[in-house]
Structure 1
Amino acid sequence: MTSESLASAIARVGNPVELLRNTAARAHTFPVAPEFTNWRSEQRAWAETCALLDQSHHMTDLFLRGPDAMKLLSGLAVNTFANFGVNKAKQFVAVNPAGRLIGDAILFHLEEELFDLVGHPMVIDWVLFHLDRGDYRVTAERDDNSAVRTSGPPTFYRYELQGPTAAAVLEQATGAPLPETKFFAMAEFTIAGHRVRGLRHGMAGQPGFELFGPWAHGEDVLAALLAAGEDHGLVRAGAKAYSTANLESGWVPAPIPAIFGDDPLLAEYREWLPAGAAGSIGGSVDSTDIDDYCLTPFDIGYDRTVKFDHDFIGREALERLAQDPPRTKVTLVWNDDDVTAAIGSLLGEGPGAKYLDLPKIRYALHQEDKVLIDGEQIGISLDCGYIANERAVVSLATIAKEHAAPGTEVVVIWGEEPNSAKPQVEEHRAWRIRATVAPVPFVRFARTDYRSR
C-alpha cells in the first residue's frame, strides 16, 4: 500500500472519482484456493448438504482490549450496545457525520474488555483513526488478511459450516448434541481435543456455524471436520463459490466508504488514511460527484440495525433520513437472453461487452452500475454474479422505493463509457441488460424459513 495519503492523492489527481475509477490497484481476490472441485458443485453443497468455507485468510481482524473499548465502538456504530455481553456478536455498521455509510464488519465480544472486529478494512481503518485521535484506555492489535500480511500466519483460523447437514457434521465432530444457540451468539465446542468457539451464523441463507480458534489448532480442527463430513456430504468450497454466497443471503459487501466531502473530520481522516485504502470504483455510474456513489444504511437493508438509544457519529443525520428513506435494497434478476448476448459478444468482431467473469462478475472492489427505467436512473446495481442453485445471474441493488415492487422491469447498464484505466478493464462497450426486481434475500429458504427464526 502506498505511503501517500488519500488527501494528497486526491489533490494530485483533482477528483476522487477519477482517482478511484482509474486506480492501478489489482483486482480483489480471496487468498484461498479458487476451487476444490468446481464452483457449481460447491455452491450447491450449501443448499443441499454442507459446505465448508475457509475464512481464515481474506478478512482483517482488529482486536481491541481495555475498559474503554465499548465506549469507542458504541460512539462509532449505529447499532445498539444494550445487552451486548460476552459471547455475542453483531453486524457493526458505521456512518459519517452526514449519515452516509463508512462500512460494516462483524464485531465479536470475546471477553469482558476484549472485542474482535472482523471484515473489510474500511471500518477497521475508521475505528483505528478515532482511537489514534481520542483519549481511550484501549490497546489495538491489527491482523491484516493474508493477501497483505507481511509475515506469519493469521491469529485465528475460521471455518464456516453451512447447509442442511451442518448440524450433523458438527455433532459428529464434537461427539455431543449441539447446544441451543441463538442467532449471532457464540457457543464453545471441543473438536480434536481443542477448545473451539462457534458463532451461530449464516452466509448463504442456510443455518450454520463460524468456528474459530488459535491458528496452531487449525489443521487438527479441519481434519476432524472433514472426517465427520464424509458421512454428511460435506464439500469444501473455494474462493469462487464463497464469493457468491452473499448474493443468495442478500448482504452487500464493500460499499464505497463515504469518506469524502468538506466535513473537517473527513478531511482529517483523508490526511491520516493511505491512498491505497480507498479501493477502486467500477461500473457504469459515471457521475463526477463522489457523493452520488455513496450509500446510507437504509439503502442496503440496515434499517433494523439503526438504533437511536445512544450517541454516535451521524446520529442526527440518520434520524432525519429514517423518516422517509428514498431507496431500498432489492435483488435484480438479469435477463437470460441479454446475459447470453453479452457473453456471446466476446466472439466475432469487437469490442463487445465487458467480460463477465463467472461466478462473481464484479470487477472492482466497489461495483456501481446504473439501473434505469425509461432511460432515467432510479438506482444502483452493486454486487453481482451467477447463482448455480437458481441458474440465474443476479445483482444486489438499491433503487427508488416507488420502483421496488417485485416484477418491475428495469435495465442495468453493464460496463463503462468511456472505459476506465484500471488494469482489469479491457476495451469494451456498455451493454444494456434487462432485469426484473425480486425480493432480497432472493433464495426462498433465506427469505422465509431462515429469516423468520
Structure 2
Amino acid sequence: MASESLADALARAGSPVRLMRDLASPPSTFPVRPEFTNWRTEQRAWVQTCALLDQSHHMTDLFIEGPDALRLLSGLAVNTFAGFGVGRAKQFVAVDPEGHLIGDAILFHLEEELFDLVGHPMVLDWVTFHVERGDHEVTVERDDNSAVRASGPPRLYRYELQGPTAAALIEQVTGAPLPEVRFFHMTEFPIAGRRVRGLRHGMAGQPGFELFGPWEDGEAVLEALLTAGADHGLVRVGAKAYSTANLESGWVPAPMTALFSDHPLMQEYRAWLPVSKVGSIGGSHHSADIRDHYLTPFDVGYGKNVRFDHEFIGREALERLAEAPPRTKVTLVWNADDVAAAIGSLFRPGPGAKYIEMPKARYATHHEDQVLVDGRQVGISLDCGYLANERAMVSLATLENEFAAPGTEVTVVWGEDPVSAKPAVEQHVQVRIRATVAPVPFVDFAREGYRAR
C-alpha cells in the first residue's frame, strides 16, 4: 500500500506544526553497534590516537548519472560548481524558493557524468523529485541506509579514519608515504590488494580520511585497517560516540526542512513526497507558524557556501538575505549545575525534567529549543549532547547577531509544553538551563580555553 502523501497528511492534520510535532519519526539512527568499548573512551580516540567509524549503514546514497547530471545539481544547490571536477567532493546545500533550507549532503564527483550524493534523505528526496519532474537526461539509483533498505547489503562500504595517528596508520597499511591531498579532494589507496578511494576529510577538528569502495571488498579492507591499527592505538567507534562528533566540529546534522511554502513548486512537492519521509519537530521552540521553525544557510554556518555565480532555486531570496543575515551559528555550553539538577529530578517525585539521554540528547528528527535572554527568545538551540573530552554538555544554536559573541550568557528551555505525542516524549515539565555562548567549532576553543578554566 502506497504511503500517504505529505499533502494528504497536512490536509488531515490541518496545520504543519500540529502534524510534525506529533509525528512518530525518531532522531536519525545509526544502525551499527552502539559501543565497541564505551562511548567515553571512543570519543577520546579521535583526539588522542585514531578512531575508526563504520559509515556503511546509516547514510543514504543517491547515484546520479548522465550528461545533464551537473546541470541538474547546479540548479538545485547554493554552491558554486566552478572547478568541481572528478575526484572532488563538496557539501551540497539546497533551499526552497524562499531561501529556507531543504537540507544538505556530501556530493562526490566520481566520474565525468557520475555523482554520489550521500547523507540524510531530506535533500536526496528533493533531488529525486526534480529528476522525475524535469527534462534532465539523467538516471538515479538510490541505496537507502541499512535501517530501511528492503534487502541486501549496501552498495559501498564506507570507513572513517580520524585522529592524530590516522596518517601514520594509512602509511603502514598502504606501504607508501601519504600522498598530498587537499581537503575534500579524493585519492586512491591500495589496501589488502583492493583499490580504495579516499576522501581527505576532517571530523571534530582532527585529520583523517573517508575510505570507500565496493561492499564485497569491505571485510578485507576492514581487517587490514584493524591489524595495522593495533600499532597506532586504533579504537573502533560505535553509534553512540559517532553521533556526537558533529558537536565538536559544528555541523548541524538535521536542520528543519522547509516543506510548507505556498509556492506552486512546494505544493507539487508535498503531493509527491510520502509523509513517511518527513521528520518530526521536537523541543521547546513551539510556534504556531511553521515559518518560525525554518532555517536559512546563513543560520547554520553555510553562508560561505552560497555563491551567486549560477542560477538555482532560491537565489533571489538568498541575495536579499545575504545583505544582512540576522543570525549566527554558535556553540552553547550548558551550565553543569543546571544539567545535573535536571537529571536529578528523575530521582524525586515527578514529573521531572525531560529525560536527558547521553551522549546525544535530541528526541526528534529536527530538535529545536528556545534560547532566551531576559525572558525574550533570541534564537534556537539545535543538536545537543555530552562531550566527554571536554566534560561538557553542549548544543549547536543559531542566535541573533547581538547575542552571538562568545561569553554571552543565555538560557535554554529544555522540554516541551504542551507535551507532544511523539513516542520518545514522556510526561515532564520544562526546565531552564543556563548556557554560555562559545565559538564554532567548539573543539578549537575548548582545547585553548574551555578546559583551561
Report the counterpart of residue 127 of structure 2 in structure 1.
127
Q: Letter of the 1:154 partner, please give it.
A: P
The alignment's TM-score, normalised by the length of structure 2, stands at 0.98
Alignment of 1:181-220 (within 5 A): 181-220=181-220
Q: Is the 8 A contact 1:205 1:446 kept in 2?
A: no
Report the counterpart of residue 295 of structure 1 in structure 2.
295
Q: Is the 8 A contact 2:27 2:362 kept in 1?
A: no
The whole-number CA distance in structure 1 between the counterparts of 2:145 and 2:285 is 29
Listed as ranges, the gaps of 5+ residues in structure 1 are: 449-453
Alignment of 1:39-188 (within 5 A): 39-188=39-188
Report the counterpart of residue 322 of structure 1 in structure 2.
322
> For each residue in 1:91-122, what CA deviation from the matched residue of structure 2 results, as whole angstroms up to 9, or x when unmatched?
00000111101000000000000000000000
Distance 1:263 1:137, change over 3 A: same
> For each residue in 1:422-446, what CA deviation from the matched residue of structure 2 results, as whole angstroms up to 9, or x when unmatched?
0010010011000000001001179
RMSD, aligned α-carbons? 1.2
Shift of 1:447: 8.9
Q: Is the 8 A contact 1:160 1:209 kept in 2?
A: yes
The whole-number CA distance in structure 1 between the counterparts of 2:230 and 2:46 is 15
The whole-number CA distance in structure 2 between the counterparts of 1:170 and 1:444 is 25
The whole-number CA distance in structure 1 between the counterparts of 2:114 and 2:22 is 39
Q: Letter of the 2:236 partner, please give it.
A: R
The whole-number CA distance in structure 2 between the counterparts of 1:412 and 1:361 is 13
Report the counterpart of residue 398 of structure 2 in structure 1.
398
The whole-number CA distance in structure 1 between the counterparts of 2:184 and 2:198 is 10
Q: Is the 8 A contact 1:205 1:445 kept in 2?
A: no
Report the counterpart of residue 245 of structure 2 in structure 1.
245
The whole-number CA distance in structure 2 between the counterparts of 1:195 and 1:24 is 42
The whole-number CA distance in structure 1 between the counterparts of 2:75 and 2:49 is 41
Q: Letter of the 1:388 partner, please give it.
A: A
Alignment of 1:355-366 (within 5 A): 355-366=355-366
The whole-number CA distance in structure 2 between the counterparts of 1:162 and 1:212 is 14
The whole-number CA distance in structure 2 between the counterparts of 1:232 and 1:427 is 47
Report the counterpart of residue 346 of structure 1 in structure 2.
346
The whole-number CA distance in structure 2 between the counterparts of 1:84 and 1:277 is 30
Q: Letter of the 1:300 partner, please give it.
A: V
Shift of 1:179: 0.5
Report the counterpart of residue 374 of structure 1 in structure 2.
374
The whole-number CA distance in structure 2 between the counterparts of 1:430 and 1:105 is 33
Q: Letter of the 1:15 partner, please give it.
A: S
The whole-number CA distance in structure 2 between the counterparts of 1:424 and 1:113 is 43
**The residue matched to 1:3 in structure 2 has which SS?**
coil
Identity of aligned residues (%): 75
Shift of 1:28: 3.4
The alignment's TM-score, normalised by the length of structure 1, stands at 0.98
Q: Is the 8 A contact 2:63 2:116 kept in 1?
A: yes
Report the counterpart of residue 451 of structure 2 in structure 1.
none
Report the counterpart of residue 229 of structure 1 in structure 2.
229
> For each residue in 1:226-285, what CA deviation from the matched residue of structure 2 results, as whole angstroms up to 9, or x when unmatched?
011100000000000000000000000111111112110000000000001111111001
Q: Is the 8 A contact 2:46 2:164 kept in 1?
A: yes
The whole-number CA distance in structure 2 between the counterparts of 1:120 and 1:112 is 24
Q: Is the 8 A contact 1:383 1:396 kept in 2?
A: yes
> For each residue in 1:377-407, what CA deviation from the matched residue of structure 2 results, as whole angstroms up to 9, or x when unmatched?
0000000000001000000000000111110
> For each residue in 1:130-149, what CA deviation from the matched residue of structure 2 results, as whole angstroms up to 9, or x when unmatched?
01010111010000000000
The whole-number CA distance in structure 2 between the counterparts of 1:26 and 1:137 is 36
Listed as ranges, the gaps of 5+ residues in structure 2 are: 449-453
Q: Is the 8 A contact 1:194 1:217 kept in 2?
A: yes
Q: Letter of the 1:352 partner, please give it.
A: G
Report the counterpart of residue 451 of structure 1 in structure 2.
none
**The residue matched to 1:207 in structure 2 has which SS?**
strand
Q: Is the 8 A contact 2:25 2:278 kept in 1?
A: no
The whole-number CA distance in structure 2 between the counterparts of 1:446 and 1:202 is 17
Distance 1:328 1:447, change over 3 A: farther
Distance 1:27 1:249, change over 3 A: closer
Report the counterpart of residue 427 of structure 1 in structure 2.
427
Report the counterpart of residue 416 of structure 2 in structure 1.
416
Q: Letter of the 2:225 partner, please give it.
A: L
Shift of 1:10: 0.6
The whole-number CA distance in structure 1 between the counterparts of 2:443 and 2:370 is 24
Figure out how many residues of one structure are paired with residues of the other and give that number: 448
The whole-number CA distance in structure 2 between the counterparts of 1:170 and 1:352 is 49
Q: Is the 8 A contact 2:205 2:248 kept in 1?
A: yes
